[in-house]
Structure 1
Amino acid sequence: MQKQSNLANKTALHQRNKHRQGYDFLALCETLPDFTPYVKPNQYNNLSIDFADPMAVKLLNKALLLHYYQLSNWDIPSEYLCPPIPGRADYIHYLADLLAYDNNDKIPVGKQIRVLDIGVGANVIYPIIGRAEYNWSFVGSDINPISIKAAKLIIQSNPLLNGFIDCRLQRDTSAIFRQIIKPKEFFMLTMCNPPFHDSAQAALASNQTKLKKLGKLQYSKSNPALNFGGQQTELWCKGGESALITNMIKESTQYKQQCLWFTSLVSKKESLKVLNKQLITVKPAEVKIIPMAQGQKSSRFIAWSFFHQDKRREIIKNHQGNSEGIKQTSVS
Structure 2
Amino acid sequence: MSTGLHPRNLHQGQYDFSLLCESLPALSAFVFENQNHQLSIDFSDPQAVLCLNQALLKVFYKVDFWQLPQGYLCPPIPGRADYIHALADLISDNHKISTGKQIKVLDIGTGANCIYPIIGSQHYGWSFIGTDIDPVSAKTANLIINSNKNLKPYIKIRLQKDNASIFNNVIKKEDKFTLTMCNPPFHASMEKAQLGSARKIKNLNKGKPSKAVTLNFAGQENELCCAGGEIAFLKKMINESVLFAEQVTWFSSLVSKSENVAPLKKRLEELNAKQIKVIKMAQGKKVSRFIAWNF
**Gap change, CA 1:298 and 1:214, over 3 Å in 2:** same
SS in 2 for 1:138: strand
Cα pair 1:211 1:217 within 8 Å, conserved = no
User: Aligned partners of 1:22, 1:121: CA distance in 2, in Å?
Assistant: 27
Count the aligned residue pairs: 293
Cα pair 1:12 1:293 within 8 Å, conserved = yes
1:156 is aligned to 2:142 = no
User: Aligned partners of 2:31, 2:185: CA distance in 1, in Å?
Assistant: 30
| Bigger Cα displacement from structure 2, 187-196 vs 104-113 | 104-113
> Corresponding residue for 1:286?
275
Following superposition, the deviation at residue 219 of structure 1 comes to: 2.6
> Corresponding residue for 1:211?
201
User: Aligned partners of 1:121, 1:274: CA distance in 2, in Å?
Assistant: 27
1:255 is aligned to 2:227 = no
User: Aligned partners of 1:44, 1:197: CA distance in 2, in Å?
Assistant: 35
Following superposition, the deviation at residue 218 of structure 1 comes to: 4.2
Cα pair 2:107 2:182 within 8 Å, conserved = yes
1:121 is aligned to 2:111 = yes
Following superposition, the deviation at residue 214 of structure 1 comes to: 2.7
> Corresponding residue for 1:276?
265
Paired residue type of 2:41: I
> Corresponding residue for 1:98?
90
Cα pair 1:69 1:132 within 8 Å, conserved = yes
SS in 2 for 1:168: strand
Cα pair 1:262 1:304 within 8 Å, conserved = yes
> Corresponding residue for 2:17?
25
1:47 is aligned to 2:39 = yes
| 1:151-170 per-position Cα deviation (integer Å, ceiling 9, x unaligned) | 00000010111121110000
Paired residue type of 1:92: I
1:187 is aligned to 2:177 = yes
> Corresponding residue for 2:53?
61
User: Aligned partners of 1:271, 1:210: CA distance in 2, in Å?
Assistant: 21
User: Aligned partners of 1:17, 1:110: CA distance in 2, in Å?
Assistant: 18
> Corresponding residue for 2:67?
75
- 2:3 aligned to which of 11, 33, 45: 11
Following superposition, the deviation at residue 213 of structure 1 comes to: 1.9
> Corresponding residue for 1:265?
254
Cα RMSD (Å): 1.2
| 1:213-268 per-position Cα deviation (integer Å, ceiling 9, x unaligned) | 23365433xx53253x4100111111111110100000000000000000000010
1:88 is aligned to 2:64 = no
Larger radius of gyration: 1
Stretches of structure 1 lacking an aligned partner (at least 5 in a row): 1-7, 307-332
Normalising by structure 1, we get a TM-score of 0.86
Cα pair 1:123 1:151 within 8 Å, conserved = yes
Paired residue type of 1:73: F
User: Aligned partners of 2:86, 2:285: CA distance in 1, in Å?
Assistant: 18
> Corresponding residue for 1:232?
221
- 2:100 aligned to which of 110, 116, 120: 110
Following superposition, the deviation at residue 22 of structure 1 comes to: 2.4
| Bigger Cα displacement from structure 2, 255-264 vs 191-200 | 191-200
| 1:30-88 per-position Cα deviation (integer Å, ceiling 9, x unaligned) | 00001111001011110000011100000000000000011121111111000000000
| Identical counterparts, % of pairs | 53
User: Aligned partners of 2:90, 2:73: CA distance in 1, in Å?
Assistant: 27
User: Aligned partners of 1:159, 1:176: CA distance in 2, in Å?
Assistant: 29
SS in 1 for 2:180: strand
User: Aligned partners of 1:22, 1:267: CA distance in 2, in Å?
Assistant: 25
| 1:106-165 per-position Cα deviation (integer Å, ceiling 9, x unaligned) | 111111110000000000100000011100000000000000000000000101111211
Paired residue type of 1:88: R
Cα pair 2:188 2:226 within 8 Å, conserved = yes
User: Aligned partners of 2:62, 2:13: CA distance in 1, in Å?
Assistant: 19
Cα pair 2:106 2:177 within 8 Å, conserved = yes
Cα pair 2:72 2:216 within 8 Å, conserved = no
User: Aligned partners of 2:146, 2:204: CA distance in 1, in Å?
Assistant: 36
SS in 2 for 1:260: strand
| Bigger Cα displacement from structure 2, 117-126 vs 71-80 | 71-80
Normalising by structure 2, we get a TM-score of 0.97
User: Aligned partners of 1:241, 1:300: CA distance in 2, in Å?
Assistant: 13
| 1:263-298 per-position Cα deviation (integer Å, ceiling 9, x unaligned) | 000010001122112111111111100000112110
| Bigger Cα displacement from structure 2, 54-63 vs 210-219 | 210-219
Stretches of structure 2 lacking an aligned partner (at least 5 in a row): none
Cα pair 1:203 1:236 within 8 Å, conserved = yes
